[in-house]
Amino acid sequence: MASVDIQGLAKRFGASDVLRPTDLHIADGEFVVIVGPSGCGKSTLLRLIAGLEEPSAGRVLIDGRDVTDAAPADRELAMVFQSYALYPHLTVYENIAFPLKVARLGKAEVRRRVEEVAEALDLLPLLARRPKALSGGQRQRVSIARAIVRRPKVLLLDEPLSNLDSALRVKMRHEFARLHQQLGSTMIYVTHDQLEAMTLANRIVVMSAGRVEQVAPPLELYAEPATLEVAAAIGSPG
Ligand code: ADP
Ligand code: MG
């Protein structure tokens, strides 16, 4: 696990400040949930941390190491996307193995690691299938397996459950809580589901229009929202 430090991190697209200068310290092993209305900059913040987007200003530190100029693969993190982003022409096994092959691990080690995460996520019977032969929940589990197979210190999740039906969302919510305990990795999780935020988070980050409005543990945020935007995002009576 690793701490994540964001220092003065900002992003402009043309004339629009998609992320205003932001400071945030996330502790080792912490589960942080980012909430806020659509378009407020949540995905941009995650993509900046992942290195998929170049900041206009500021720095990202992982475990105290400045990774602002490091490639995504050199940041010891992994990201799970809303769309799952699986390779359609590859089997489940090959999808999960992909990051390990890129990292040039030996064949036996690849097999051992793929089977280990497949077992943890109930995917062993599905390893030979292709993504189109899987349900939404199964696809999501494959994308999680692929993200954790390299044992990232930090796991970034961008609305990972938003394409699932509500019964499956509840089940997967418990899975994430279990996974966090099991892996001990630092989790940064974007959602617009208030219940997910309240039940999963050690701390919730509320964003609005490109800025962080408030950062606090769920109950504190609910009891004492600092602004109307926070009250709206968290469903608190204000
Ligand atoms: P969220 O994930 O909170 O819905 P995003 O981070 O995806 O918000 O987007 C924040 C804002 O930045 C939106 O107004 C979006 O249109 C804009 N934006 C995101 N990516 C780009 C881009 N590559 N070029 C221009 N504008 C962008
Ligand atoms: Mg988004």
ipTM value = 0.97
pLDDT at 237 over 80: no
Determine contact, residues 114/91, Cβ cutoff 8 Å: no
Q: Which atom of ligand 1 is nearest to the CA of 38?
A: 4
On the 0-12 / 13-18 / 19+ scale of CB atoms within 10 A, 63 is middle
Task: Look up the pTM and report it.
Answer: 0.93
DSSP class per residue in 106-130:
-HHHHHHHHHHHHHHTT-GGGTT--
Which residues are within 5 Å of ligand 2 (an ion), measured at CB?
43
DSSP annotation of 3 reads -
Alpha helix segments (H runs only) across the chain: 42-50, 92-102, 107-120, 136-148, 166-183, 194-200, 218-223, 228-234
Tell me how far CA of residue 220 lies from CA of 24, 187, 200, 201, 204, in angstroms: 18, 20, 14, 12, 10
- Percent of residues, the chain, with pLDDT higher than 90: 76
Q: What is the mean pLDDT of the chain?
A: 93
* Winning range, highest mean pLDDT, from 94-98, 223-227, 232-236: 94-98
pLDDT at 196: 92
Which of 9, 17, 18 has most ligand 1 atoms within 8 Å of its beta carbon, as the pocket-test mutant? 18
Ligand nearest to the Cα of 11, by number: 1
pLDDT at 82: 85
* Mean pLDDT across 187-214: 94
Determine contact, residues 59/39, Cβ cutoff 8 Å: no
Ligand 2 centroid vs 39 CA: distance in angstroms? Answer: 7
Type of residue found at 190: V
Ligand 2 centroid vs 38 CA: distance in angstroms? Answer: 7
pLDDT at 108: 96
- Percent of residues, the chain, with pLDDT higher than 70: 100
Query: In angstroms, rounded to a whole number, what is the distance separating the alpha carbons of residues 40 and 45?
Result: 10
**pLDDT per position as a tens digit, 5-52:** 999 999 999 999 999 999 999 999 999 999 999 999 999 999 999 999
**pLDDT per position as a tens digit, 89-144:** 999 999 999 999 988 999 999 999 999 999 988 899 999 999 999 998 899 999 99
pLDDT at 238: 58
Query: In angstroms, rounded to a whole number, what is the distance separating the alpha carbons of residues 47 and 26?
Result: 16
Ligand nearest to the Cα of 38, by number: 1
pLDDT at 164 over 90: no
* Mean pLDDT across 177-187: 90
Query: In angstroms, rounded to a whole number, what is the distance separating the alpha carbons of residues 121 and 194?
Result: 25
Lookup result for tokens 């280990």: 116
Q: Which atom of ligand 1 is nearest to the CA of 159?
A: 2
Of residues 169 and 45, more confidently modeled: 45
Which of 9, 12, 13 has most ligand 1 atoms within 8 Å of its beta carbon, as the pocket-test mutant? 13
Query: In angstroms, rounded to a whole number, what is the distance separating the alpha carbons of residues 58 and 10?
Result: 6
Q: Which atom of ligand 1 is nearest to the CA of 207?
A: 3
Nearest CA owner, ligand 1 atom 27:
13
